[in-house]
Amino acid sequence: MAPLGAATKLVLRLALRLVLFLPWPACRAEGPDAHNLLRGRPPQLHLVTFMNKVHRMFAMLQTSAEAHGLYPKVIGYGRNAWWPSGLGVKINELRRFLWGRGVRRDDVVAFVDAFDVIVFADEDEILAAFADMERLHNASIFFNAERYCFPKTDGLCDDYPPSPTRWRHLNSGLIAGRVWALRQLLHDPVPDVIEGSDQAWYQRQFRSGNFSDLLALDRECRFLCAVSDADAVVLGPDARMVRRDTGYRPALVHWAGVGHWVSWPEGQDFPTSHLADMFRRLYPDVAKRLIDGWFLELEIGSTHDIKFYEGAGFWSVMELVLCVQCNVLGTTQRECEYFAGFLCRRCRLWSFLGLLFFLVVPLALCFSRRLLSCRYAMQCQPNKHPRFDE
């Protein structure tokens, strides 16, 4: 074979460099099909929540997630949704996310409520806990379980499957699943309006048995936990929630129902909830700035914000409002159990002041009217002059 010339050697060297160093398409992580090309990438966690309008209580999820290196993906912003029947939108928005860009079939999606969930673990721990649940239950989609069944329609709560704990019923506030499994469950879109909320739809899928090889409930709070009262869990020395009866330390905790209802504890002059109390203990500075103060502001279109007040709360004024609502206007909201009767502890002072007002004001008006009448009579009485012929 004839020896290669200098020009030929130069061309071969350039070609070799092009082959070795150019970023060929099969090695790039770009484009909608990149997840099919990156077969060596381990499964990732997607923390997702639905929020169609900003609310201050989102601070709890966002703050706790950031503390563990997670940043929630908000879906459904600006959509028309309402509780309970207008939450079919949540299901459809999650479905759209599952087929979105950058979501691989082996990834794990944690779909959590926006306003009553606190994160207690980072991505690695959440993925490890999920893998343990998969092996334990032979399932790939998990819901947190709660003590109470909702909604009680269409026989959804009849003959419910037994549970080793009091936490027996499906709750859709915490859902964690493999993408491929969630795509099977949410293969078809659902109506945006579902009687009984999105939880009714998930209840039907769970009770139907059609997805028994995919769905399971975390009834022991190993991974996902629904809390309805303060006695069920305790905050450990390492700032982790511990389930009292099982000792498990869940990664994601949901204060469902009673857990986020407003209460007025005895000896405390401001309202709270189990959820708010826990957040204050974990993140006191953030709680003071974002959820404990009073913020009176008027938003005018897209152009003006008028701030009237920002600072400490005047809770005695709120007590007065609730005393009137519950005992005068006949409101039946839950908080009225703390304001039952004019002589209850929180309404006693306002009742006395109100009684005093209704006694003093009529007397003052009557006295003022009498005084004015006397003055008018004196002004109208003719002057008497002495007669000189007497």
DSSP one-letter string for 201-266: HHHHHHHHSTTTTTEEEETT-SSEEEE-STTSEEE-TTS-EEETTT----SEEEE-GGGGS-B--T
Residues 321 and 272 both lie in one domain = no
Length of the chain: 390
In a domain, 384, yes or no: no
Q: How many domains does the chain have?
A: 2
- pLDDT tens sequence across 231-262: 678 888 889 999 888 899 999 999 998 889 99
Give the sign of the dihedral formed by CA 62, CA 140, CA 89, CA 95: positive
Structure letter (DSSP) for residue 72: P
Residues 53 and 187 both lie in one domain = yes
In a domain, 256, yes or no: yes
Amino acid (one-letter) located at 200: A
Separation in Å, CA 7 to CA 3, 12, 64, 189, 202: 12, 9, 64, 64, 71
The 3-class SS string of 268-333 reads: CCCCECHHHHHHHHHCHHHHHHHCCCEEEEEEECCCEEEEEEEECCCHHHHHHHHHHHHHCCCCCC
CATH number of the domain that 66 lies in? 3.90.550
Residues 54 and 128 both lie in one domain = yes
Output the pLDDT for position 363: 76
- pLDDT tens sequence across 276-312: 999 999 999 999 999 999 999 999 999 999 999 999 9
Output the pLDDT for position 34: 44
Output the pLDDT for position 195: 96
Amino acid (one-letter) located at 158: D
Output the pLDDT for position 332: 85
Residues 256 and 344 both lie in one domain = no
Residues 248 and 342 both lie in one domain = no
In a domain, 263, yes or no: yes
Model pTM? 0.82
Output the pLDDT for position 3: 55
In a domain, 87, yes or no: yes
CA atoms within a 13 Å half-sphere pointing along the CA-CB vector of 66: 8
Neighbours of 200 (CB within 10 A): 21
In a domain, 217, yes or no: yes
Distance (Å, rounded) from C-alpha 278 to C-alpha 253? Answer: 11
Residue 7, both tokens: 């020009």
Distance (Å, rounded) from C-alpha 269 to C-alpha 252? Answer: 31
Output the pLDDT for position 122: 98
3-class DSSP assignment, residue 45: strand
Q: Which stretches of the chain drop beneath a pLDDT of 70?
A: 1-39, 230-231, 375-390
Output the pLDDT for position 376: 66
Residues 241 and 352 both lie in one domain = no
Output the pLDDT for position 354: 75
Q: For the chain, percent helix, then strand, then coil, each to nearest 5?
A: 40, 15, 45
- Structural domain boundaries, residue 325: 314-366
3-class DSSP assignment, residue 76: coil
